[in-house]
Structure 1
């Protein structure tokens, strides 16, 4: 079962369970999936890889929105946003721990032969490809900067 079908099935389950937060989050995800499937050149298909990228983007947007709400002292809205983020994160690959991320980045630095902050672009190019979906871009960038400094 691909991710599109899994989301569709889970929407039905959320409706039966009367889980409004999960239902709203999954309907939003499915809306973006359908938009991607019907986009010009998509040939009415959506790979699991593309679907995962869509969910990652929505999770990142949700976390960013929650941060803004917290900054504006609107904890109620931040909590609602984070509840939806948690409902979507279930469908993402397991994120790396900080220790695993550091080990992976050290290996990439050794592989690319980077020695200083000037080589950050080279390291980031490899790291973002290899670690896509396993760690947030911000975390990767911050750790690369720290290790090359």
Structure 2
């Protein structure tokens, strides 16, 4: 079952459970998935890898919005946004810890033979592909800089 199909099934379950927060989040996810499927060049398909990237983007946007609400003293809106982010994150794989990311990056550095910060692009390219969906780019970048410095 694809992620798109799973979200569709969960929308029905949320309707039956009368869970308004989950329903709103799931409908938003499905809307973005449909937009991605019907985008030019998508051939009416949505791979799970692309769906994961969309979910990560939605979760990041939700966290950013919640931070903005908190800075504007609107805790009620921040709580609602974080509740939706929790639903979105339930579809994402568990993120890697910094120690796990560091171990993976060390392995990639040994594979590429990179020895200086000048070769960071080569390491980042491989690391981004291997750790896609499991770690965010900023964390990977920080660890690569630290290890190559």
TM-score past 0.5 threshold: yes
Q: 1:19 to 1:121 in 2, by over 3 A?
A: same
Tell me what 2:110 maps to.
110
Distance 1:148 1:60 in 2: 28
Q: 1:6 aligns to what?
A: 6
TM-score (norm 2): 0.90
Q: Within 1, Cα distance between the matches of 2:65 and 2:114?
A: 35
Q: For residue 43 of structure 2, what is the aligned residue in structure 1?
A: 43
RMSD over aligned Cα, in angstroms? 1.6
Structure 1 stretches lacking a partner, 5+ long = none
CA shift, 1:103, in A, is: 0.5
In 2, Cα distance between equivalents of 1:68 and 1:141: 25
2:28 match: 28
Shift of 1:96: 1.0
Distance 1:75 1:142, change over 3 A: farther
What stretches of structure 2 of length at least 5 have no aligned partner?
Answer: none
Deviates more, 1:106-115 or 1:70-79: 70-79
* Equivalent residue number for residue 91 of structure 1: 91
Q: Which residue of 1 aligns with 2:55?
A: 55
Structure 1's 105 and 83: CA in aligned 2 closer, same or farther, altered over 3 A? Answer: same
